[in-house]
Amino acid sequence: MAEDAEAGSDSGGGGNSGAGACERGVAPIKAQYRTTKEQFHQYLDADKREDECQKTPEGDPEGSDPAEPEAKRIRLEHEQENGKAEVAAEQLSDQRQVSKRARGQNKSRPHVKPTHYDKERLCPSLLQESTTCAFGDRCRFLHDVGRYLETKPADLGPRCVLFDTFGRCPYGVTCRFAGAHLGPEGQNLVQEEVVARCVHLPPVRNSLDRALQQQLRKRQVCFERAEKALRRLTQGPMPVVIPESTVATVTPEQNSCHGQLDTARGPSTPHDSSVFTCGPLTDQDIIRLRPCEKKRLDISGKLYLAPLTTCGNLPFRRICKRFGADVTCGEMAVCTNLLQGQMSEWALLKRHPCEDIFGVQLEGAFPDTMTKCAELLNRTIDVDFVDINVGCPIDLVYKKGGGCALMNRSAKFQQIVRGVNEVLDVPLTVKMRTGVQERVSLAHRLLPELRDWGVALVTLHGRSREQRYTRLADWPYIEQCAKVASPMPLFGNGDILSFEDANYAMQTGVAGVMIARGALLKPWLFTEIKEQRHWDISSSERLDILRDFTHYGLEHWGSDTQGVERTRRFLLEWLSFLCRYVPVGLLERLPQRINERPPYYLGRDHLETLMASQQAADWIRISEMLLGPVPPGFVFLPKHKANAYK
């Protein structure tokens, strides 16, 4: 299941003692660091007032000091406007939630797409050398570079991450750090030595080919293996929707990942003549693999980063890999969107070279779409396993029969698992919850069946859909399920925020642990588990982690205005979790429990206090340290509301 980035767990648990004792469910912070809400915000507001005083220094009443940083000036001009807009948005959201329990996803939040921040967008043809605009006079983008530069905001910094890393920035004049790589005549500079060195580096994999996207949109892709599997599962002939004359040619690039082609498997059929093969003929082209001959997924004892919706993007996974995550999985991808060729959905499948054990997670409610999507991914992307989402609790998925709903639809669930497993050449895994209702557990009944259906590994989240995150994970039940699932490996998931939590989880007999919210609160948790220690990480080290995330984000989403603001959005979503972390040096007892909300405290320095703020305005201030001032009219509210502590 894609871990919906809803926060927290039960408020009952983790009693406190000592001088800094506080009410139940609150992290036990030492008395000298504790403060009140009013004192906390007064401390942070004092810094804002200091910035305002520095804005207009003595002897310059008009505030025209040429040495004043442009980023600070713009931030201060819009800070008051942003604060008013945020307060209004919060009041509106609170009014709508008065008679309704918080359910996680904040659908009423104000949201501005990054593309709307550019008043005048330059035509992409001007950034691509020796390329003319295909739309001519009908093009809705700007073709006058001089006019574009007049309205373009000031650069955000003196160095461009793309230029320093790859030797060339593909965004040219539209880059928000363009001053680092533009020549005296506005030409885009290139570092030949760096470019030559980067040619041999492995690229990010699993991108959607433009030709394949067109075929998917026109429904010209043949899913022969999926149709055969579905006919066998339903014990009856299935109508062929795609006529033989419209079967598309599969390009060699789409099959290079596994060296296998769509129709060169099994007996000859009428479709075989419509698809051209390439390369030498192998035994695997003629003889299908038996289930026992499939590649095995041996990750027992490894640390598995959960597929985290919204926050589990590629830059965040790179951060977790750096701190010791062994296995990573892409965000939950909806199979129908993949079959329609949606670029935004295919972006969830991208794999960075550092991800040595990588899988993707599919969500769907019907055997036909899931099986066809699995066949499509099997021949187009490079993954080590495919995971089926049987745990997503959100209404949007559940009411359509996907996610947790599959646990109550055993017939459809079986067809999906058998169909997907038959068309895949990599292991199939399943992530599920204990059940749908709080007091009716279903996982222990389904695990033996999943083992018989050919699933290689199951991950069990120790909460039901009804519980969401309002209860602690049921690890005694996970221990029971691990025995029932044997010899199939079972991974446990839930409430792991320290190496003690991970040690306790491994004592239940699970093959390994999956870490979800714990990685969002402290991505260095993987290092703590492997080194069996508590890391009292400093605020400057945490800021360096955020800076690395922004660099990875600019590489992934781009360094133009759209890419910068998309990076900022994902950074802010992550900061809404990071603020719940309490530094080790401030705690009266170790470790911090995941269900303990942090009280108001003053950190050991200003930055540590700022990082503890629960207000979105302070998260925006942190983002401005790394990505410059926000655009005019910028408003942010987190995508998911924390209802865990209520």
Q: Where in the sequence numbering do the catalytic residues fall? A: 392
* Cα–Cα distance list, 545 to 83, 164, 499, 522 (Å): 27, 19, 21, 10
Helix, strand, coil percentages (3-state) for the chain, rounded to 5, are 45, 10, 50
Alpha carbons 376 and 464: distance in angstroms, whole number = 32
Q: Give the Cβ contact number of residue 510 at 10 Å.
A: 24
Question: Any idea what the Cα angle at residue 122 is, between residues 118 and 126, rounded to 5°?
Answer: 160
HSE, side-chain direction, 13 A CA sphere, residue 249: 7
Cα-trace Rg, the chain: 26
- HEC profile for 56-75? CCCCCCCCCCCCCCHHHHHH
Q: Buried b vs exposed e over 117-153: b needs ≥16 C-beta within 10 Å?
A: bbeebbbebbbeeeeeeeeeeeeeebeebeebeeebb
The pair of three-digit structure tokens given for residue 154, joined into one six-digit string:
């000031």
Alpha carbons 446 and 513: distance in angstroms, whole number = 20
DSSP-assigned beta bridge partners for residue 329: 359
Sign (positive or negative) of CA dihedral 100, 101, 106, 107:
negative
Instruction: Return the C-alpha torsion angle 572, 575, 576, 582, nearest 10.
Output: -170
Question: Any idea what the Cα angle at residue 162 is, between residues 157 and 164, rounded to 5°?
Answer: 80
**Best CA proximity match to 565, nearest among 620, 613, 640:** 620
DSSP-assigned beta bridge partners for residue 448: none
Which helix (H) or strand (E) segment holds residue 606: the answer is helix 606-611
**Best CA proximity match to 103, nearest among 26, 7, 25, 3:** 7
Name the phi and psi angles at 390, rounded to 5. Answer: -125, 35
Alpha carbons 622 and 610: distance in angstroms, whole number = 8
Q: How far from the centroid of its chain's Cα atoms is residue 564's Cα?
A: 17
User: Going along 91-234, which residue ranges are E strands?
Assistant: none
Where residue 437 falls (left for φ over 0; alpha for ψ -120 to 50; beta otherwise) is beta
- Written as one string, the DSSP assignment of 411-459 is HHHHHHHHHHHHH-SS-EEEEEES-SSTT---HHHHHHHHHHHT-SEEE
DSSP-assigned beta bridge partners for residue 566: none
Q: Give the Cβ contact number of residue 401 at 10 Å.
A: 14
Judge contact between 527 and 325, C-beta under 8 A: no
